Structure 1
């Protein structure tokens, strides 16, 4: 079985490394695909983004904002199956249903940066089969834990674990004063580590998450509630947070 991975960024390279089969890697920037393929083993080759080749499976590792368009564009290249690792699920699942009604379809979301692999991988098996099962076996063989979800449950969860969490971390970083390291507490040190993790990526990735999933406003409202709370109102917030 051969696989076309569309998108030679961080997660596209992760897919290419993780699957145990021949991989073709495409990107809108041909030099990016060529450099990525050269940095991987002999199973991986670079192909043009407008390739006319067909493959047993196509995996989309593209930005969230273009995944619907990418499904339409690359559906003819997928002979048996298509999957994605874009980080949103409702949009690609619905697009794949429309464009590939008679082929296997799975949406995956690795819940980690590639540098932190292995980890948890959310899976929506919309129309699974032997090809997508083989790909998931490769993911699990690399030490990742896969778990089934629905597109709706996943996208709702991302409001908290991505949009909300990132908002809280970035807001802390923006509000933090410039203090000497000796003043760090266990809580502030842990937050500083999280700030380093989040800001060590690229703004585009985090911007697309914020634009796709709600959650930032809820964090802002909670922060204002805590800031305004006095006496027992603060105690209520504290206890509620612990629950």
Structure 2
């Protein structure tokens, strides 16, 4: 299998490495990137090759691993290079799924969203198999063999979930970081220490990634509104809000 990874950053490299490690017949990998130096570095790291973005070569599988805002346009640009299958690794699904259906209608098409940074793999990987087939089935098998938990979803279900698990969660953690004051370790509680750990994890990434998520999904404003409501609440209202939060965190108790 010939594989073209469009976007030679960490996630694109993770995808190529996972297939190389967990397929009996590893693919011949090519990387392309708007930054040719990044493509060359990825190719050197993974014993592949770098190709120009405007190459007219065709590949059995094209994997698009670029930032959310440019995923749909990148699919449009590179879909013609896929002879059998195309997939993406974006954090949003509605637009990539639609773009692949429009620009690669005769190909196998699967949208994957690894819910982790490559350094934290393996983990959960929701997917939309818009048009499954032998090549994408091999990809799914390789990802599963690497220890990832793959499950099928729909673009609407996925994108709605991301409003909470990404946009709202990240906004809440970063807002805490902006409001918090440095304190000696001896004053930490189990809850505060856990929240500081989460803050460290979020701020250990790239600001652009989190900005893209806030732009792609609604939800951050809901966190700000809820915080203002809590801050302004009298005791009775606070208890009502507390109970509301409790019900949401323990839905099986109802």
Distance 2:128 2:232 in 1: 41
3-state DSSP class of the match of 1:167?
A: helix
Distance 2:5 2:108 in 1: 16
1:241 and 2:219 correspond: no
Distance 1:33 1:101 in 2: 28
**1:176 aligned partner:** 180
Q: Aligned-pair distance for 1:140?
A: 0.7
**1:201 aligned partner:** 205
Q: Aligned-pair distance for 1:210?
A: 0.4
1:136 and 2:140 correspond: yes
State the Cα deviation string for residues 133-165 of structure 1 (Å, max 9, x = none): 111111111110100000000001110000000
3-state DSSP class of the match of 1:110?
A: coil
1:28 and 2:34 correspond: yes
State the Cα deviation string for residues 31-71 of structure 1 (Å, max 9, x = none): 1111122222x3x2222222221100100001111111111
**1:12 aligned partner:** 12
Runs of 4+ in 1 over 3 A off after TM superposition: none
- The normalised TM-score by structure 2 is 0.93
Q: Aligned-pair distance for 1:178?
A: 2.0
Q: Aligned-pair distance for 1:209?
A: 0.4
Tell me how many residue pairs correspond in the alignment. 241
Distance 1:168 1:97 in 2: 35
Gaps of 5+ in 2: 21-26, 248-254
Match of 1:187 among 169, 187, 191: 191
1:18-97 alignment runs, 5 A limit:
18-20=18-20, 21-40=27-46, 42=47, 44-97=48-101
3-state DSSP class of the match of 1:123?
A: strand
1:231 and 2:240 correspond: no
Distance 1:37 1:182 in 2: 48
Distance 1:124 1:53 in 2: 27
Distance 2:135 2:90 in 1: 19
1:159 and 2:163 correspond: yes
1:147 and 2:151 correspond: yes
Distance 1:36 1:95 in 2: 26
Distance 2:102 2:150 in 1: 25
Distance 2:56 2:120 in 1: 34
Gaps of 5+ in 1: none
Distance 2:14 2:205 in 1: 15
Distance 2:93 2:15 in 1: 17
Q: Which moved more, 1:163-172 or 1:13-22?
A: 13-22
- The normalised TM-score by structure 1 is 0.97
